[in-house]
Amino acid sequence: MKVIYHCFGGSHSSVTAAAIHLGLLPRDRLPAAAELMSLPYFDARSLGEEGEIKYMGIDPYGNNVYAAGKKNLGSRFEALLYDLATALGLPRQELLLLNTSPFVNRLMVLGGFTSRRLGMTTPGRPIVILGTRRAYFQLVEFVDQHRPLWEGNRR
């Protein structure tokens, strides 16, 4: 199965959720800023990389996990990917798209815009890290709620 976490820019909530899924971040405590910054693609995408699906790793069940930015596509992003999978002959049930956008708070928007869009990482990163930490346990819960969909009979 391909599990794709997606949000607006693909740099923060989707990367964090994918890292939780893969066990790269703790489930029982807030990650330190350094732990977030050590994640591949966290606050690291450049303008124009939205829409790129970035490989994050493989989980213990053999599922490939990705993070993606969809910019302004909204729900059309999922429709596009499901239609593409069908066109390529991939079974729809082998693709799991998980939208992390509802967990993006104002601090994440402000910090992400400042850091990624304006290129001002010194003021932007601490703000986006604070926002990510505030949303963290919601992301843990979101990942846990969807766990049965990728665990299935793959044990």
pTM higher than 0.95 = no
Q: How far apart are CA 99 and CA 40, in angstroms?
A: 19
126 occurs within a structural domain? no
34 occurs within a structural domain? yes
Which backbone phi and psi does 141 adopt, to 5 degrees? -65, -40
50 occurs within a structural domain? yes
70 occurs within a structural domain? yes
42 occurs within a structural domain? yes
68 occurs within a structural domain? yes
Q: At what angle do helices 13-22 and 121-151 cross, to 10 degrees?
A: 50
Tens of pLDDT, residue by residue over 71-126, are 888 788 888 899 999 999 989 889 999 999 999 999 999 998 898 888 888 999 99
Which amino acid is present at 94?
E
Q: What is the extent of the structural domain holding 29?
A: 2-103+137-151
40 occurs within a structural domain? yes
Q: How many domains does the chain have?
A: 1
Mapped onto helix, strand or coil, the DSSP state of residue 80 is: helix
114 occurs within a structural domain? no
